[in-house]
Structures are given as C-alpha cells and as structure tokens.
Amino acid sequence: MQTNVLTTFPAAGLLRQRELVSGGWSYLGSSQPALEATALAVMALSGQGREEAYSSGTAELLRLQREDGGWPAFAGDSEGSWTTALALCALNGSSGSISARERALEWLLRERGKEGHWFWRWKFKTADRNVRFDPDKYGWPWISSSASWVIPTAFSIVAIKQFTVCNRSEASENRIHLGVEMLLDRACVDGGWNSGNSVVYGVPLRAHVEATAIALLALQDEPRSELIQRSLAWLKKQAARVDSVSSLGWCILSLFVYQEPIEALKNRLVAIVGNGRDIRNNATLATGLLALKCGEMIHPFVVLR
C-alpha cells in the first residue's frame, strides 16, 4: 500500500493546514468551527504523525462541549446536536477526557427522537399514518425536539457502545437496544437505509449509501440477520460504482468492520482524493483520510465485543 502512504500524507498535511487559528475545523473555509468537521479531523489526524493537530483539535472539542454535556452543530449554536455522538467517538480514541465523555453519555441517554414522547407516539399511531414505522422504536434526532433519523441514531449507538464497552449500565443497554430496534424497523424494503424512513405514502424509499454504511457500523456487533446481510450486499454493490469521496469513504469504513475486502476501493479512493486540494469540505477530506487509513490504525468506529 505504498501508494496510500504517499498520497494520504499530503492530504493529511492539507487538513492540518486548514485548522482554524482559533481552533477546530470549519466545513468550507469559514471562520466558524463545525463540530462534524472538527471531530472527523481529530480522528483522521490521530496517529498520522500530526499529534500537535490532534492535541489542539481535541482541546478545541473539549472547549466546545456545552455545560449540559452535548456538542452544538456549529460553535456558538445554542443547543446540543447529533455531533455529540461524533465528538464522543473522537474522544473515545484516547483514554483521557473521562469526565467530558461521561457528560456526553448522559446527554445522549437523555436525548431522544420526538417519538420518544407519548403524545407523538400516540399521534403517529392514530392520526398520522402516512409514514410506515413503529413509533415505539425511537433513536436520536439531528437536533433536539425533532424526530429520529438514521445517521444520528447510528452514530449515537456506536458512541455509546464504545464508551460503555466495559461498563454497560441498564440505561445504556436499553438505549442501545432501542436504537438498534429503531434502525431495523426503518430499513428499506430491499435493504439499506434511507435518511429516516422506509415507506412513505405507500411508496418504498430507496436506500442511501452514506446512511446505509453508517447504519451498518452501528449494527456491526449485532447478530447477522438476513436484513443486515441484504444491506451489506447492497452496500458492496454501491461501493463498486460510487465516486464521491464521502460516500466511498463511508463504504470503506463500514465494509472493513464486516471484514469485506476494501483494497480495491481504497485504491480507487486514492485516485479520487489525489492531493486533497480539490476537496473543499473538510469533513469530506477527513472522511476520505479515515477511509484510506482503514486497516492501518484503530478504526474510529469499531465496536469491541
């Protein structure tokens, strides 16, 4: 994999250069740190010979944690968001920051999709039946007070599974179980996941690559049901033809934990990423780097059994 080393290094250097003077990373050259970009960059620069950036990125993550334990989507936002799960995954990569991670866990255990409230469950069961799903099974929203979505739920499951691997409480077990149930309930008819639901107004929705890859990350240690196998097969087929850095990157990260071959995909990603300069979005650049480093570092979303 000599090509990988030679090619990822300049892209990693580029990501390092794009760190904001104030700390953290924005998506696209803004001066406002975005938590998704920052958390993914911290993961991508871990063990890349970029320890200074990793340390400053981690410090910025800790600085941006809210008093309630959550993280905002953007620095300065007035509420916690789905990025709390990503930040926790990033901090799970080291043994420190225990207090910050415990507060993040508490935030995640408190946060729930709107279906978690009895009134909304009742509404979805009786009056609003246009979307086919089981409201008793809820996960996590992008932002508070909204419904459960696939990607926030999947990242939250991974983050909680990682952090509580040696110390599962009843509360964390219950939320993991409920989140997994929600993902299985929302899977598309032909396998894979759309952004939130599977059938709307009687029409089956088609799966999305990123959502499927990330949902499968959350289910990596669950029993290999027929649904998971079908979704994995769908993702493998998509991975062979998708050409966007982010989707291909998430395919690689997901297929790796299912012990599927990824070398050909990585070689294709190397060619697409190049020196990274054409990738303006720092979250995308970091995802690409993480995928290219897959197998050469501890996988940031792996769940130990």
Partner 1 sequence: MGWPKHSVSYRRPRSAVAVLDAEEYSEKIEALLLDGLRLFQLKMLGRSVLLKPNLVEDLPGPVNTNSALIGAAARCFLRLGAARVVIGEGPGHQRDTELVVQSAGLNPHLNQRRIEFVDLNRDELRRVKLKANYSVSFR
Residue 276: how many other CB atoms lie within 10 Å? 22
Token representation of residue 77? 């936002």
From 168, 167, 158, 165, select the one nearest 250 (Cα to Cα).
158
Which residues does 87 contact at the CB level (< 8 Å), separation at least 6? 35, 38, 39, 61, 65, 71, 104
Q: What is the residue whose two structure tokens read 């599927």?
A: 260
Rounded Cα gap, residues 301 and 53, in angstroms: 20
CB of 167 to partner 1, least distance (A): 32
Q: Decide: is 247 part of the binding site for partner 1 (CB under 8 A).
A: yes
Which range binds partner 1 by CB under 8 A, 59-67, 108-116, 240-248, 291-299?
240-248
CB of 253 to partner 1, least distance (A): 14
Q: Decide: is 34 part of the binding site for partner 1 (CB under 8 A).
A: yes
209 vs 270 by CB, closer to partner 1: 209
Site string for partner 1, 142-171 (x = CB under 8 A): ---------x--------------------
Token representation of residue 181? 């149930």
Residue 114: how many other CB atoms lie within 10 Å? 18
Which range binds partner 1 by CB under 8 A, 51-59, 62-70, 83-91, 188-196?
188-196
Which range binds partner 1 by CB under 8 A, 51-59, 117-125, 207-215, 225-233?
207-215
Among 3, 5, 6, 32, binds partner 1 (CB under 8 A): 32
46 vs 281 by CB, closer to partner 1: 281
54 vs 149 by CB, closer to partner 1: 149
Q: Decide: is 190 part of the binding site for partner 1 (CB under 8 A).
A: no
Among 101, 112, 208, 266, binds partner 1 (CB under 8 A): 208
Rounded Cα gap, residues 71 and 48, in angstroms: 25
99 vs 244 by CB, closer to partner 1: 244
Site for partner 1 in 250-289 (CB under 8 A): 281, 283-284
CB of 137 to partner 1, least distance (A): 20
| Burial class for 115, CB neighbours closer than 10 Å (0-12, 13-18, 19+) | buried
From 228, 169, 237, 213, select the one nearest 301 (Cα to Cα).
213
Among 194, 198, 212, 220, binds partner 1 (CB under 8 A): 194
Residue 184: how many other CB atoms lie within 10 Å? 16
41 vs 105 by CB, closer to partner 1: 41
27 vs 120 by CB, closer to partner 1: 27
Query: Are residues 108 and 140 in contact, defined by beta-carbon separation less than 8 angstroms?
Result: yes
Query: Are residues 44 and 15 in contact, defined by beta-carbon separation less than 8 angstroms?
Result: yes
Q: What is the residue whose two structure tokens read 């509404």?
A: 123
Number of residues that bind partner 1 (CB under 8 A): 27
Give me the residues that bind partner 1 (CB under 8 A), please: 26-32, 34, 74, 151, 194-196, 206, 208-211, 242-247, 281, 283-284
